Structure 1
Amino acid sequence: MADSTDIEAQVRELREQFDALKKSLTEQSANAAKRVRGGVAAARNSAYQIADDAIEYAKGEAASVGDAVRQHPTATSTALVTAVVLGCVIGYLAGTMSTNSR
């Protein structure tokens, strides 16, 4: 009977150790989750700031382009017509080259 009592004591001690280990793992997991959440929040805030800066930069550049177009309408229309003509020429050449290769 002494062996049975000894085994029960060992089982009880193992359960206590298991519970302590379980509690420790739970605490470590919670701390790790908090650190990850903090890192994700910081990364998200940084990304928002970068996006806001990019938007402000794009708005400023758009305003600059708009001002340049208003100040130089002839140069703008000439640049657009030139771009269209170049596009047509490139398209024509690409079309004729693709039909010749068939």
Structure 2
Amino acid sequence: MVLGICHLTIEMPEAHSLKEKRRVVRSLTERVRARFNVSIAEVADQDAWQVATVAFVCLSNSSRHVDDTMQTVIRFIEGNLQAGYLADVATEVMHLD
């Protein structure tokens, strides 16, 4: 079994309130969840209004499938950010027995 974990830091310099940031993050996570078979959530910086840290995970029996899924989700997020940009991306793949 292979587990892929990805942490994304999203900078939103145009966000002027927590409400605006949360709207962007909620919209993004709902679209990713609906389109891909991954678990995704905001995992840090909940009270910072110009930065969001989001993580998603995927599980498969194939390393290639996990890598492909993570890259596809990252590209989707990058192309669909309404008010911001990806400042940092960290991925990790774990092989579980």
Q: Normalising by structure 1, what TM-score?
A: 0.23
Kindly indicate which of the two structures has a greater share of residues assigned to helix. Answer: 1
Using CA pairs under 8 Å that are at least 6 residues apart, name the structure with larger relative contact order, 1 or 2.
2
Higher strand share: 2
Query: Which of 1 and 2 has greater Rg?
Result: 1
TM-score by length of 2: 0.24
